[in-house]
Structure 1
């Protein structure tokens, strides 16, 4: 039966079996849900959103100074038109950051290109501390949520821990969608490549999720993260958990939309394990999706690099 609203999952109640069963249903049947009671206050999230607006309000020359084309590690600013989804231009500008770490002294594998320092705008020095602190707290939430998902499927809570034993790969971005009369593609339909994605929305709707062949509008819910299952988690659960197509429609002219996206995956040198689920859940599995235009690779670093080069061809050439 088609749903009218995404399920709502309470992070604070995940120690209860009942809430974990609700989580399992949401992750396997919809692939998307609202996460509430996660410990980050509405005030803290509003501060992040306000700082995001300040960044996008900087003069174009200052934003261009941290353009992703200056980073061989796919970090930094993208103006409208610099990212593609499904081969078509997305109508959004954004600023990407990942784990803050030095670049390898020796590149032995192509995927090591994504390891390195972030670019930070000198005109807004508080951006670095605020955004790194946000992604660190979101990682704690994501790890706990991932363990609850494992428990919900009858597995040990730590069944996937080995795949991020040193540190999970994380990638985040602040995003501005300007109003557009020419294109409705804020972001084209796609699935996310990692384990879990969190999205913080402002008051402007636009995110849509495909469910049973129809597009469901994901209305903003103050204080919540919109969480979705990524392709690596679909792979790890052998298709029981579902990565779901979603898109963002560009706002109407004269309006704009802001959001903050966080992506969590296994560490880059890991190969995602396939969990041996209980037989009743195996029988319910829809199978792992296949797309000849976007093959899913079990090696995390290779899968990440593939996605970055496809979405950011200019930065890919620089790398």
Structure 2
């Protein structure tokens, strides 16, 4: 379990003056604090879309291991990283060089490795939907075998935390605790990103990740000591600085769809640090199983009246079919993979 006690975590939050709400997951299972927890969770998710999560139970030793293996991966020779380039994978797994992922058509100044659930590729018939090509194995660097062990353990641990949080959301919305389990009860489609942002003093290189909303269910982000994450609220960009021991959680568009817009996915971005500074982060994305479609929860009337309907960018429409929605996002972000493995598709023709 985490070594931070409640008082220590609260003191850290106070010192950092967080711009986001702080949610303690231990309160979900504490009957004396459960109702306050549920009310605070609704507020954090609906009114902000982001929050710090403490009391998540992730072991400090595992946190140190994931940081160490991440830094060791990025320190590999460039040729060894390129050997597992995402451009080799129809499943969008592997390494992406600096500037090779796009957000709204603009290159991001980051390098990263994408690691999904370790599953075999599906057999694809000629009439199978294109999204079935997304499932498949990861790519691993031959000189760093511990990357596989540590990242798969991290993904399994964060998946457990995210599912507990997803069930807390169901209860907060006055639904059965398992109401959203149908999104995740088939083959997992999660994603883990290890990310490195090298600093720059050039104004045109400040986009670590451009403004976007996450397409999945929930994102759990581990930040190093360097700031950079910003959240858009009331038309302004607010910093979300690192908080020791906390994960940053944000709502994905799938939860927005499932709640008819009662819960809101929020625009966010990352600015690269100044020249001479390198920022690292580790993002875990709880994504729905590729089969099926997003349900619409029957919210009680007093909640349903505040559901604004899901927002949809006309240039990046939301699909209720899960597989199509997932593939659309990957095609837009990684045009090199799209050109090699999906030449017959555009981001709007993915079924």
Return the TM-score normalized by structure 1: 0.97
Deviation at 1:49, TM superposition (A): 1.0
Superposed, 1:179-218 pairs within 5 Å as 179-182=199-202, 183-218=205-240
Residue 348 of structure 2 is matched in structure 1 by none
The aligned length equals 317
Deviation at 1:168, TM superposition (A): 3.5
Residue 251 of structure 1 is matched in structure 2 by 273
Aligned partners of 2:201 and 2:44: how far apart in 1?
Answer: 35
Which stretch has the larger CA shift, 34-43 or 161-170?
A: 161-170
Q: Structure 1, residues 99-125: CA drift from partner, whole Å, max 9, x if none?
A: 101111224110011100000001100
Residue 12 of structure 2 is matched in structure 1 by none
Superposed, 1:108-257 pairs within 5 Å as 108-182=128-202, 183-257=205-279
> SS of the counterpart of 1:173?
strand
CA RMSD, aligned part only? Answer: 1.2
Aligned partners of 1:214 and 1:240: how far apart in 2?
Answer: 21
Return the TM-score normalized by structure 2: 0.88
Aligned partners of 2:116 and 2:278: how far apart in 1?
Answer: 25
> SS of the counterpart of 1:248?
strand
Aligned partners of 1:225 and 1:173: how far apart in 2?
Answer: 14
Residue 80 of structure 2 is matched in structure 1 by 62
> SS of the counterpart of 1:14?
helix
Q: Structure 1, residues 130-161: CA drift from partner, whole Å, max 9, x if none?
A: 00110111111111111100100111111111
Aligned partners of 2:119 and 2:129: how far apart in 1?
Answer: 17
> SS of the counterpart of 1:148?
helix
Rg larger in structure: 2
Unaligned runs of 5+ residues in structure 2 are 1-16, 342-351
4+ residue runs of structure 1 moved beyond 3 angstroms? none
Whether contact under 8 Å (1:4, 1:216) holds in the other structure is: no
Q: Structure 1, residues 58-92: CA drift from partner, whole Å, max 9, x if none?
A: 00011011110111110000010110001101000
Whether contact under 8 Å (1:71, 1:315) holds in the other structure is: yes
Residue 6 of structure 1 is matched in structure 2 by 20
